[in-house]
Structure 1
Amino acid sequence: MPQIDAEGPPQHTMLETSGVWPFVSRRVHSEHGRVHVWTSRQHRKGLSRLDIPRIESFFAAQSLNTWIGVVFAIGASCFVVASLMSLFPGLAELSVLGSHIDAVYFAGSIPFTIAAWLQLFQAANPNATLSGRTARRRVWFGWYPKEIGWLSCALQFAGTVLFNFNTFDAMSPSLNWWQENLVVWVPDLAGSILFLASGYLAFIEANHKHWAFHPRSLSWWIVFINLLGCVGFMISACFAFTLPSESNNLSVNISTAWTLQGAICFLAGAVLMPFESAESA
């Protein structure tokens, strides 16, 4: 409903809303005769020109987006290195133990979780990226399940926490096949499902529909590449199930190859994130 000014005609009129049900990720409204376009991704990441503050701080839009990209890139790089060490141990001309590779995976899961939390914090405090002051007190996590951007970040953060457990438990040398499935594969599968849901929500948030092709948009490339990474992790988890008595080297190699594909995609998406912020500025 338009808001009626006591002295004249409506000053604020909603012209159009769009998004994948039940979310609204784009709004077009008229205010005092000017048309404004609001999108969920730009709002939560502070990508609007008006949202980027004059004075930089850690919580400023450009600075925080850059740090999120850098920390994500560190985690993805660890996963890339660990996957390559597992698939091609001869590349380093060293005898690499499986426990060492698992330690690299675990090390990579930590910056993944830190970056995911920073992104969740950003989504929970979109006004914290506005110039100078905040409209409400900052919260660590928030609870806004009706907002597609926050929900995507929350699912991603939960997935990274499960990867922390998954990669930490994988370093234990004394697990039998069913224990490995319980404490390594189950968190891996659950985390991959959450990642896939998060990646798809981010994709439809940026595109306002189930599928879109916008190769000239940097935001489209970021969410699309990250979605491909989520698919890679999901396929990897499907092949990671441990059998009791059969040699499953082929399945392990397939799983690792898809982990590598996912990690490369996440690394590429992370590298592009600061450019998205700079482009908007």
Structure 2
Amino acid sequence: MDFREERFKHVRSSESIGPWPFITRTVYKFEDSSVDIWSSRHARKNLILPETLGDEAKTLRGRQLWAPATLNWWIGIIFALGASLFVTASVLTLLPNELETVGLSATQVNAVYFAGSIPFTLAAYLQLYQSNHSQPAQGEGKKTDRPTIFLGWKPANIGWISCLLQFLGTVLFNVNTFDAMIPSLNWFQQDLFVWVPNFVGSVFFLASGYLAFAEVAHAYWSWNTSNLSWWVVFVNLLGCLFFMASALCAFITPGPVNETAVTLATLFTLVGAVGFFVGAVLSLPEASQTAS
């Protein structure tokens, strides 16, 4: 039994909040009048709560954008890489004259989308892996002898569900961006092999983004612009919304191609990817608050 386990035997009272049916924040009050706070996102990502930083804040600010020893930093960097490739492919698609100038075909641009989907999947899996080892709300403490869990099961944990849905969404984006490189697909094949995984993956992304937002908000909705984690999940949620809008516009119908819908789908993908890139960059200073 470690100190933390022994300490939680002396809890006098606790107050929990969160969007039903989840608990995302608990404040424990002990018999010695001290207080301990558990927050779902911070426990999942092993982050130090801002209100408990104290004198550590100055040290952490010194490594805001360079913390390669932390998994959170790598997750942010890899997400930023995937998003930047999606941005690049979207811009090239929206500028056909420049695309012709650099000598790239539509299939090659689709390959850039596919290349971008791979870092998305890797970063999403790292988040899922991380969430499998998140610290419980009470009692067990930070044990170093816990088994490694590659595929866990925590359906009562809002953060874990969010990570799982995001990972599944990225896998479907792998499928749809790969299938988009197949030449000479008719409208039905494009809907079946490209649009369906795109749409379902976007639904998963939107659900994941909202759950991550609710995890930080500790409610169904909040407006907390002074909180860095809030900005990370809020911008990501906006990115998810634009990906969803892109998928809705990308549905193919028989007959002539609807150029307006195609342009809107690409534009929404671009804005969604920018949202994810900004969220990934904002997560880097958050990563500097990783506990040692």
| Equivalent residue, structure 1, for 2:3 | none
Measured after TM superposition, the shift of residue 22 of structure 1 is 0.6
Would you say 1:111 and 2:119 are equivalent positions? yes
User: For 2:14, what is the secondary structure of its paired residue?
Assistant: strand
- Cα deviation, 1:186-214, whole Å, max 9, x if unaligned, reads 00000000000000000000010111111
Would you say 1:89 and 2:96 are equivalent positions? yes
> Taking structure 2 as the reference length, what is the TM-score of the superposition?
0.85
Where relative contact order (Cα < 8 A, 6+ residues apart) is larger, the structure is: 2
In structure 2, the gaps of 5 or more residues are: 1-8, 57-66
Q: Distance in 2 between matches of 1:216 and 1:279?
A: 16
Q: Distance in 1 between matches of 2:144 and 2:225?
A: 35
Measured after TM superposition, the shift of residue 61 of structure 1 is 10
Q: Distance in 2 between matches of 1:211 and 1:43?
A: 21
CA contact (8 A) 2:46 2:290 kept: no
CA contact (8 A) 1:62 1:278 kept: no
Would you say 1:100 and 2:108 are equivalent positions? yes
- Cα deviation, 1:14-58, whole Å, max 9, x if unaligned, reads 421000011000001123421111100000001026999xxxxxx
User: For 1:126, what is the secondary structure of its paired residue?
Assistant: coil
| Equivalent residue, structure 2, for 1:15 | 14
- More deviation in 135-144 or 149-158? 135-144
Measured after TM superposition, the shift of residue 133 of structure 1 is 4.7
Letter in 1 for 2:70: S
Q: Distance in 1 between matches of 2:215 and 2:143?
A: 26
| Equivalent residue, structure 2, for 1:159 | 169
Counterparts in 2 of 1:14 and 1:185: CA distance versus 1, 3 Å? farther
Sequence identity, in percent?
49
Following TM superposition, the consecutive aligned residue runs of length 4 or more in structure 1 with deviations greater than 6 angstroms are: 49-52
| Equivalent residue, structure 1, for 2:181 | 171
Q: Distance in 2 between matches of 1:131 and 1:174?
A: 57
Counterparts in 2 of 1:185 and 1:74: CA distance versus 1, 3 Å? same
Would you say 1:234 and 2:244 are equivalent positions? yes
Letter in 1 for 2:163: C
Counterparts in 2 of 1:120 and 1:61: CA distance versus 1, 3 Å? farther
- More deviation in 91-100 or 147-156? 91-100
CA RMSD of aligned residues (A): 2.4
Counterparts in 2 of 1:237 and 1:181: CA distance versus 1, 3 Å? same
Would you say 1:145 and 2:155 are equivalent positions? yes
Measured after TM superposition, the shift of residue 141 of structure 1 is 1.9
Q: Distance in 2 between matches of 1:44 and 1:195?
A: 19
Counterparts in 2 of 1:274 and 1:32: CA distance versus 1, 3 Å? farther
CA contact (8 A) 2:249 2:262 kept: yes
Letter in 2 for 1:71: I
| Equivalent residue, structure 2, for 1:29 | 28
CA contact (8 A) 2:165 2:207 kept: yes
In structure 1, the gaps of 5 or more residues are: 1-9, 53-59
CA contact (8 A) 1:203 1:220 kept: yes
| Equivalent residue, structure 2, for 1:249 | 259
User: For 1:262, what is the secondary structure of its paired residue?
Assistant: helix
| Equivalent residue, structure 1, for 2:86 | 79
CA contact (8 A) 1:16 1:29 kept: yes
- Cα deviation, 1:201-229, whole Å, max 9, x if unaligned, reads 00000010111111111111100000000
Measured after TM superposition, the shift of residue 135 of structure 1 is 4.8
| Equivalent residue, structure 2, for 1:57 | none
Letter in 2 for 1:245: G
- Where do 1:205-244 residues align within 5 Å? 205-244=215-254
Aligned length: 264
| Equivalent residue, structure 2, for 1:6 | none
| Equivalent residue, structure 1, for 2:41 | 41
CA contact (8 A) 1:76 1:112 kept: yes
Counterparts in 2 of 1:208 and 1:131: CA distance versus 1, 3 Å? closer
User: For 2:277, what is the secondary structure of its paired residue?
Assistant: helix
Measured after TM superposition, the shift of residue 140 of structure 1 is 0.5
User: For 1:120, what is the secondary structure of its paired residue?
Assistant: helix
Match of 1:201 among 211, 214, 230: 211
CA contact (8 A) 2:92 2:109 kept: yes
